[in-house]
A and B are shown apart, each in its own frame.
Chain A
């Protein structure tokens, strides 16, 4: 890794390991996210992407390694403390509070800022500027929104806390292509606000286009990690990504390949 950007990363993950119960699913994962830049975390299903994010936020216990947020070691901190420290996490699957209105969801997003409800309501205006459709539907229950709108709300909710770094877990998952475009355009613009973004995606090409750094996970380990400008040719990445897909078991392929 040469030519790192000036300044310190806002999120520094070192040699992280995590799992569920006795089952270890992630080993020695190191990731950096710089302010105003986007790191993309790629990998197939089951590669350990979501488990890594859960360990970074503290939802899962890290059994090895460390997590540093804006210079402070938060490896042992509770989830809510990390959120107060500037960590935002938009989970997979559009998890907003279905039984609350759009506006109430956004107000809750600003919970850590210790402001009054009316001040937060005013603050929600900034989210409506980014996603105008949410402003139109501010009085509706979040559960009645479409999938794409719920995803926008989930991102808006995270923005209300003014995060220093934002983890996004497959924000495009399960969305129709047109909606996905709208959501991803706004995700790409988060960098302009000085937020460090860690984006988890399965789709390789499209996410690499907006990335500054690329990390590929496979079988719970880092397979590839580099700045994007160091990658002259995407085929390197593709090989890292797909070569492994088939390289795993060649004998299985022999007995009954496609005919």
Chain B
């Protein structure tokens, strides 16, 4: 059970990356490779707020949200908006990811920094397993995030507008939607979201500059399983990846953890290329 708790918490982290991918994907049909790096910057800023400046928790969270939202906005302006060819976006967002990796290492060094969790780190016994408070919090946050985003997209006209943009940008413009501004704010919002998560993710993974690459890929696996744009899909995909990784590491050895996730990815891509939660559309011309 301890393994399952650990796996679920890890899966929640991946799901949260995937939610960030989805926010941007839904609003601008762009895959932001640097999303995981934004979350990484969030953990660093949270560390700075909590440990270096001794800020209260809510102030540190606000600082992280603001800082990462600004970083994400800059990325949108510099690496997304000026790109004419959509296939070049993969290159520019990858560049943004590499750049953020480098800048974080310059600012915070290469050693992992331990981010304290505000609810303490006393091990709890739950359902026959041992679990840290932060692990429970991560699972709760992931579920809450999916619920909130699903609810918002159902309740707000803006939610519909975002979905419309993803489906047909030109038709969305003709409904009076300011497509560029909307895409920009969705990017900024995904940054603020990544900043907010720093306080939850940092204590589990440490703030470390190598976090980005592996989180980015795991987040992608989650989206591949759940389907692009599907919020409930991220939850299922995230938890599945976390569990596969934890169980494989425990029973096969740590060097098999990633390979098992990779095998799951290949299986999903070859069997259900559009993911489990998105129905493949028949193409008509």
Complex: A in contact with B (CB within 8 Å): yes
User: Interface of A with B (CB < 8 Å)?
Assistant: 57, 59, 78-80, 83-84, 89, 91, 95-100, 104, 107-112, 115-117, 120, 157, 161
The reply to whether A108 and B168 contact each other, CB–CB distance below 8 Å, is no
In the complex, which of the residues B156, B161, B171 has the most CB atoms of chain A within 10 Å of its own CB atom? Answer: B171
The reply to whether B157 and A80 contact each other, CB–CB distance below 8 Å, is no
Q: Which residues of A contact B175 (CB under 8 A)?
A: 83, 108-109, 111-112, 157, 161
The reply to whether A59 and B173 contact each other, CB–CB distance below 8 Å, is yes
In the complex, which of the residues B157, B171, B179 has the most CB atoms of chain A within 10 Å of its own CB atom? Answer: B157
Query: Is B105 an interface position by the 8 A CB rule?
Result: no
Q: Which residues of B contact A104 (CB under 8 A)?
A: 160
Chain B interface size band reads 10 to 19
Q: Chain A nearest CB: distance from B280 CB in Å?
A: 13
Q: Determine the residue in chain B with the shortest Cβ distance to A54.
A: B170
Q: How far, in angstroms, from A104 to B158 measured CA to CA in the complex?
A: 12
Q: Which residues of A contact B157 (CB under 8 A)?
A: 107-108, 110-111, 115-117, 120
The reply to whether A99 and B177 contact each other, CB–CB distance below 8 Å, is no
Q: Which residue of B156, B160, B171, B177 contacts A95 across the interface (Cβ within 8 Å)?
A: B171
A-B contact pairs, 9 of them (CB 8 A): A80-B173, A83-B175, A91-B174, A97-B163, A98-B167, A109-B175, A111-B160, A111-B177, A117-B156
Q: Chain B nearest CB: distance from A15 CB in Å?
A: 24
Q: Determine the residue in chain B with the shortest Cβ distance to A101.
A: B160
Q: Determine the residue in chain A with the shortest Cβ distance to B157.
A: A117
The reply to whether A100 and B160 contact each other, CB–CB distance below 8 Å, is yes
Q: Which residues of A contact B170 (CB under 8 A)?
A: 59, 91, 95
Q: Which residue of A80, A89, A91, A117 contacts B178 across the interface (Cβ within 8 Å)?
A: A80
Q: Determine the residue in chain A with the shortest Cβ distance to B161.
A: A111
Q: Which residues of B contact A115 (CB under 8 A)?
A: 157
The reply to whether B176 and A83 contact each other, CB–CB distance below 8 Å, is yes
Q: Which residue of B156, B171, B176 contacts A91 across the interface (Cβ within 8 Å)?
A: B171
Q: Which residues of B contact A57 (CB under 8 A)?
A: 174
Q: Which residue of B155, B167, B176 contacts A99 across the interface (Cβ within 8 Å)?
A: B167
Q: How far, in angstroms, from A59 to B174 measured CA to CA in the complex?
A: 9
Query: Is B90 an interface position by the 8 A CB rule?
Result: no
The reply to whether B160 and A108 contact each other, CB–CB distance below 8 Å, is yes
Query: Is B213 an interface position by the 8 A CB rule?
Result: no
Which B residues, 167 to 223, have Cβ-Cβ distances below 8 Å to chain A? 167-168, 170-171, 173-179
Q: Which residues of B contact A117 (CB under 8 A)?
A: 155-157, 160
Query: Is B143 an interface position by the 8 A CB rule?
Result: no
In the complex, which of the residues B171, B173, B174, B177 has the most CB atoms of chain A within 10 Å of its own CB atom? Answer: B174
Query: Is B164 an interface position by the 8 A CB rule?
Result: yes
Q: Which residue of B156, B168, B173, B179 contacts A97 across the interface (Cβ within 8 Å)?
A: B168
The reply to whether B163 and A99 contact each other, CB–CB distance below 8 Å, is yes
Q: Determine the residue in chain B with the shortest Cβ distance to A82.
A: B176
The reply to whether A161 and B176 contact each other, CB–CB distance below 8 Å, is yes
Q: Which residues of B contact A112 (CB under 8 A)?
A: 175-176
The reply to whether A80 and B163 contact each other, CB–CB distance below 8 Å, is no
Given contacts A97-B164, A117-B157, contact A84 B176 (CB under 8 A): yes
